[in-house]
Amino acid sequence: MSNPSDSLLTTGLLAAVSRSFYLSLRVLPKPVRTPLSLSYLLARAADTIADVPVRPAQERLSLLREFDQAIQNGPASEFFTAAAEFSRDVDHVGERTLLSRLPECWDALQSCTPEEAAFIRTVLQRIIHGQSLDLQRFSDPSQPAALPDAAALDEYTWLVAGCVGEFWTEICAHKIPEFSSVSREEMVRHATLYGKGLQLINILRDQPKDMAEGRCYLPADELRAAGLNTLTWPAADWKPWHAVRRPWLAAARERLQSGRSYVRALASIRLRFAALLPLLIGEATLDLLDAQPSDQQPQAAKITRSQIKRLMLRALWLSLRGRV
C-alpha cells in the first residue's frame, strides 16, 4: 500500500510552492524526506492563509486558528471547505493548489509514525503562533507598525524559523542514528541560530514589500534612536534606515556561521547538501543587500536561477568533500 504522502511529494506540489527550498528537500535521505517535506507543505499552507491581503486580518487569523486545531486535534470537514473557498483569493497557483489539497496533507500526517507526527504538530503550533502574532500586530495596513524591540524580533525569528532548525535536528536524530559528529544539544543550538539567521535575511530582503503593507520587523526603539519617528516610505533621508538595517545584516551573517558549524557536523552527504544550499543562497543574498548604497532606498534582493544553479554545484562539491 502506497504512502499517502507519495502523491504530495511526486506530483510537483513541493516544486510548485518553493523555488529553492524544494531543491534541498528532494535530496534528503529517504528516512527524513517525507516528514520534513510534509512539515514544509503544512507550514507553507499556514503562511499562505496568513498572507492573503484581500482577506481581512481577523478572517485570516480565525482560519489560522482553525488550521492549528485541525493539526493538533483532527480537522472538521468545515475546515477543508473553508480552506478551499479561501484559496480562490490566492494569486500564487501553487499555493492555491496546496490549500485545495490539504485533505491529502492530513492523510499524509496520519500515515506518519506517532513520533514523527508529534514533532510535526509541535513545530506547526509554534509557526502558526508566530504568524498569528503577526496578524495581530499588523492588522491595519493603513497604520504602519514596527516590532517593539530586539526581543520581539528574536521571538519572531524563533517562532517562524529557529524552531524549524530544532525540528529538523530532532527528526534527523530520531530517524538517522549518528547523523552528526557532535551532540544533539549542540546541533539544536546551531540549527536554531541558523534558522533565525535565514529569517533575518528574509526580513531584510522583503522590507520594501512589507513596508508597502504596513509591516516593519525592525525594532521600533532602534528606529526612534536613529531619528525615525514615523514609518514613512519613501523617506526624505535613507541613511537612518540603513543605520538600523546594517547591524541586523551583520547579525544575520553571524548566525549563518552557526549554520556552517551545523553543516560541518553532519555525517551524510545528502544532509550536508540540503542544509548547505540555503546557507549559500543566504550569503549571496546578504552580499547583494550589503552592496546597496546607504543614501538610497533599500531594494529587494533576488538571486537569479542561474546563480542558484551555480550555488547548487558549489554546495554539491563542498558536501562531497566534507569540508565546508
pLDDT tens-place string over residues 281-298: 999 999 999 999 999 999
Q: Bigger pLDDT: 262 or 34? A: 262
Dihedral angle over CA of 304, 128, 256, 281, nearest 10: -10
- For residues 197-218, average pLDDT: 96
Residue 247 has pLDDT above 70, yes or no: yes
Whether 114 contacts 103, CB under 8 Å: no
Residue 2 has pLDDT above 90, yes or no: no
Residue 18 has pLDDT above 90, yes or no: no
What are the cell numbers at 173?
Answer: 536524530
Whether 198 contacts 157, CB under 8 Å: no
What are the cell numbers at 249?
Answer: 545584516
Q: Could you give the CA distance from residue 244 to residue 309 in angstroms, rounded to a whole number?
A: 33
Residue 8's pLDDT is 62
Dihedral sign for Cα 232, 284, 258, 275, please.
positive
Residue 6's pLDDT is 57
Band (pLDDT 50/70/90 cuts) for residue 142 is confident
Residue 1's pLDDT is 41
Whether 228 contacts 241, CB under 8 Å: yes
Average pLDDT, the chain: 93
3-class SS of residue 113 = coil
Residue 312 has pLDDT above 80, yes or no: yes
Residue 216: enclosing H or E segment and its boundaries? strand 215-216
Whether 41 contacts 13, CB under 8 Å: yes
Residue 71's pLDDT is 94
Q: Bigger pLDDT: 5 or 31? A: 31
Instruction: Render 13-41 in DSSP notation, one character per residue.
Output: HHHHH-SSHHHHHTTS-HHHHHHHHHHHH
Residue 141 has pLDDT above 70, yes or no: yes
- For residues 203-209, average pLDDT: 96
pLDDT tens-digit readout, 101-132: 999 899 999 999 999 999 999 999 999 999 99
For the whole model, what pTM was predicted? 0.93
Residue 277 has pLDDT above 80, yes or no: yes
Percent of the chain with pLDDT over 90: 83
Percent of the chain with pLDDT over 70: 97
Residue 159's pLDDT is 97
Taking every pair of Cα atoms in the chain, the longest distance, rounded to a whole number of angstroms, is 64
Cβ count near 236 (within 10 Å): 6
Q: Could you give the CA distance from residue 217 to residue 149 in angstroms, rounded to a whole number?
A: 9
pLDDT tens-digit readout, 55-108: 999 999 999 999 999 999 988 778 999 999 999 999 999 999 999 999 989 999
